[in-house]
Structure 1
Amino acid sequence: MEMEKFSNGHGAAVPMDEEVPQEDQLFLEHKNGPTKTPQFTDFEGKTSVGMSVFNLSNAIMGSGILGLSYAMSNTGIVLFLVLLTCIACLSSYSIHLLLRSAGFVGIRAYEHLGMRAFGHPGKILAAVIITLHNIGAMSSYLFIVKSELPLVIQTLIGQTTGADVWFMNGNYLILIVTVSMILPLALMKHLGYLGYTSGFSLSCMVFFLSAVIYKRFHIGCPLEVFGNYSVVTEPSDDMCATKFFTVNQETAYAIPILAFAFVCHPEVLPIYTELKNPTKRRMQNVGNISILGMFVMYFLTATFGYLTFYENTEAELLHTYNKVDPLDTLILCVRFAVLIAVTLTVPVVLFPIRRALQQLLFPGKPFHWVRHIVIALCLLFVVNLLVILVPNIRDIFGIIGATTAPSLIFILPGLFYIRIIPTEQEPMNSRPKIQAACFTALGFVFMTMSLTFIALDWTSGEKRSLGGH
């Protein structure tokens, strides 16, 4: 390797171990082991495997779950299952590459892996990609709050149309939610404490899934619409037919929706850091369990949502239920549950951004509460300003999602593995290195394809929906 030493965060050069740690070797040496210089993120991991699964599952789960039924309507059940399985397996393999690279050099931050692999430019690139992607994710969550919370309030007070009052204004509501709920959680020192809120957030999404399954057996097809919502005038024979395999203009565009739904990689190493008795095998189990749980939830949500509305499925599943009855009590509760889930996810997504900024702007600095709080306040201010001032950021999300998501899932983990694992141990023609190279190439293909569809969307002016994490 070109770099035989790497910085430990305090500027001191630490020799790289000659041997690769075993699968079960502790990620960090304990007190009885060799003395090491502590890093600014260094502390004894106290988070259990269960809490770590909650945190990582909450990081995986995002607003993209609302678009999965739409993706299935454009792929069919069988093709959707194949694509979902492939992306879930690739995401698990990506976590394996990250843990393998991190365990070899004893680095616990995504940005430090970039530093170890490509020097300071690699560290900057990783930090910028994480920051842009997670800001986009946080903005998508707050956009759900901005659009759905006024509808919840409107239903609770019994109004059929929106009133021009401050508590029905989404811009005011996201500020209130940010200050009262998101900010206190974002100011916590350790990510592990958010396992409790992550568990509650996942419970809300389980309730959302239960409601989708329940409504499948209580909504007929063709739809009996309510009020002034769009009406199906002439039901066709195929309108309520189940499609197992279909290809149309939107099929390939459904692939980014599925991929974005599994982006969790910036959170993997922070969660690894706080895992009790951290080993690669334990963290890989955390990743596999989280991905498997989200795989089941995603497939069930997509299937029962699709089997409810078939061709009438909209890009956001909750909006489709408005066709039936916007005042439905169960759907009102579902909206409320989704709002709670996305609100509690924002602090989990904020932690990797703050870590990336601290690694980039304040390398080697010990933890300081003022810096911790100021970074959180600045990030929340930027995200709220973006949500308030930009009326439609679908194209912005598209660009960020088409570039940062494949970078985090495919490109960077593969490149880190190729650069960090020495050729003396694994030559470039070895099977693991070839697999990592193909994995990286797949990321570039995915990025090119996604950007192509966005360009076609801009040039043709057609309405296409891009799912976010």
Structure 2
Amino acid sequence: MYHCYFANKTKQNKIILLILHRFDALENMTEGDTFLLNKSSGKIETQFTDFVGKTSFGMSVFNLSNAILGSGILGLAYAMANTGIILFVLLLTCMAILSAYSIHLLLKSAGVVGISAYEQLGNRAFGRPGKILAASIITLNNIGAMSSYLFIVKIELPHIIQGLLPDNSDYWFVDGRYLIIIISVLVILPLALMKRLGYLGYTSGFSLSCMVFFLISVIYKKFVTECPDEHSYNKTVPTENNYYHTAFTIPIMAFAFVCHPEVLPIYTELKNPSKKRMQNVANISILAMFVMYLVTAIFGYLTFYGNVKSELLEMYSKKDTLMLCVRLAVLIAVTLTVPVVLFPIRRAVLQLLFPDKPFHWVRHISIAVCLLFLVNLLVIFVPNIRDIFGFIGATSAPSLIFILPGIIYICIVPEEQEPLKSRPKIQAIAFVTLGFIFMIMSITFIIIEWVTGKKTSGGH
């Protein structure tokens, strides 16, 4: 009997200690975190909130690949003409590796503190100013990306309709302003209202298939298009006159792999989430886009050589039925990317304005409608929005890829685990420095472009 009493007493003490331990864990958590008890070990494990473990590995790859793939793919052949094939391949390879390393820093930081939001990592590193800064950079960068995609729809879709249905130039349905409103309401908004980013894996897969069709068509056109009458192979090596263009392509190629605002939301929804599993998602996505970028650039360049323009599709006849279909496929791909880009903005707004509130459909829908309304207004009424967001992109993109991941990593990973003079921390410091160099380069080139009036290729 005494034995039973002491056994029960010991059991009660253990339960009390466990409860106290749970309260300690709760005290040390940041907003938006939660925890679950590991049944096998009895330890407290920080778990990601929102929609844990719902999205398959393949769908996550589709979504991240779609977030990486941007309209900048159309300018890569022009970049190769300015840098030369060998230098282009080296630069593109370096940028892909740096992007994968950047995601590694983000995931390592998220794993240390158990936080699945970029904004919350900023909060943990710098307090509320860091949270506001991260959310603002994500919002500006992604609104700029959404605007650039809708600009493409506004400009290109009327040409496609006129090519498929000639003699309709006076009708309202070839006015780009009306078309982007229709596309936004009928296509983008319903997809943006999805509860989870993982649901967009299907549309992301279709978007990527459209770009594969574009890639196959570029390869096909290389073998059926006559070579330009005048082209010289010395254009494959940078000369003194195009060093400016060569230097300008470096930040553009770096930004070709921007997907960092989407990484943590995708990680949140990944089935059986772990740092290694999400890093594999990132590595496969980056590798797939690296191959697509490289093949597009090589075959686009070898078709037109030094005559290639900054937008590859401009080189093909607008009366060519195949290339009209390719243009349509590119527009579909761009349109289906907009909802994927919108999700991190809504998440950033929710983190800033409603950090402790559970999911609610009214907030979810209202923010999506407001964002699309704002972007449509910008695209319709601001003629030089690309220049404005080009400047914003020059600051936000290097911040998201290089500066914030590196600084957050340095601040969050404890010195007991990795001292400031350790190799990983030194690498992170060098990575941040590289980010500031890219930012200064980008801003300098944009200012030169504004002053001189020279137009250079770009875009994400």
Provide TM-score, normalisation by structure 1: 0.88
Matched, 1:272 2:267: yes
Cα 1:175–1:16 change in 2 (3 A) is closer
Question: Where does residue 80 of structure 2 map in the other structure?
Answer: 72
Mapped to 2, the partners of 1:105 and 1:167 lie a distance apart of: 52
The reply on whether 1:430 has 2:436 as its aligned counterpart is no
Q: 1:157 to 1:149 in 2, by over 3 A?
A: same
Structure 1 equivalent of residue 210 of structure 2: 204
- Picking from 189, 193, 196, the partner of 2:195 is 189
Please tell me whether residue 411 in structure 1 is matched to residue 403 in structure 2.
Answer: yes
Name whichever structure is richer in helix by fraction.
2
Q: How does 1:69-468 map to 2 (within 5 A)?
A: 69-159=77-167, 163-222=169-228, 236=230, 239-241=231-233, 243-247=235-239, 248=242, 249-321=244-316, 325-465=317-457, 467-468=458-459
Measured after TM superposition, the shift of residue 398 of structure 1 is 1.8
Between the aligned partners of 1:294 and 1:123, the Cα distance in structure 2 is 30
5+ residue gaps in structure 2? 1-24
Give RMSD over aligned pairs. Answer: 1.9
Provide closer, same or farther for how the CA distance between residues 36 and 42 of structure 1 changes in structure 2, counting only shifts above 3 A: farther
Q: Deviations over 1:369-401 (max 9, x none)?
A: 000000000000011111101123231132112
The separation in 2 between residues aligned to 1:37 and 1:189, in whole angstroms, is 23
The question of whether the paired residues in 1 share the 8 Å contact of 2:67 and 2:341 is answered with yes
Q: Is the contact made by 2:95 and 2:254 (CA closer than 8 Å) also made in structure 1? A: yes
- Measure the CA separation in 2 of the matches of 1:85 and 1:35: 41
Deviation at 1:59, TM superposition (A): 0.3
CA separation in 1, counterparts of 2:363 and 2:155? 32
| Change in 2 beyond 3 A, CA 1:283/1:37 | closer
Partner Cα separation in structure 2 for residue 50 and residue 14 of structure 1: 36
Give the match's secondary structure for 2:417.
coil
CA gap 1:268/1:384 in 2 versus in 1, 3 angstroms: same
Q: How many corresponding residue pairs?
A: 428
Structure 1 280/332 Cα, relative in aligned 2: closer, same or farther at 3 Å? same
Specify the code of the residue in structure 2 equivalent to 1:108: S
| Counterpart-to-counterpart distance in 1, 2:35 and 2:253 | 34
Gaps of 5+ in 1: 1-11, 18-26, 223-234
Distance in 1 (alpha carbons) for counterparts of 2:46 and 2:283: 32
1:164 alignment partner AA: D
8 A contact 1:99–1:280 mirrored in 2? yes
Match of 2:289, SS state, is helix
Instruction: Give the CA deviation at 1:311.
Output: 1.4
Question: Whole-Å Cα distance in 2 between the matches of residues 407 and 129 of structure 1?
Answer: 8
Identical amino acids, percent of aligned pairs: 71
Tell me the distance in 2 between the aligned counterparts of 1:30 and 1:176: 48
- 1:255 offset after TM fit, Å? 1.4
* Residues 79 and 244 in structure 1, CA contact (< 8 A), matched pair in contact too: no
**1:38–1:254 distance in 2 versus 1, CA, 3 Å:** closer
Seen in structure 2, the aligned counterparts of structure 1 residues 96 and 29 have a Cα distance that, compared at 3 Å, is farther
Larger Rg: 2
Q: Is residue 125–residue 411 contact of structure 2 (8 Å, CA) maintained in 1?
A: yes
Do 1:28 and 1:278's aligned partners in 2 also have CA atoms closer than 8 Å? no
Shift of residue 244, structure 1, vs aligned partner: 4.1
Provide the C-alpha distance between the structure 2 equivalents of 1:334 and 1:256, rounded to a whole number of angstroms.
27
Q: Which amino acid aligns with 2:445?
A: F
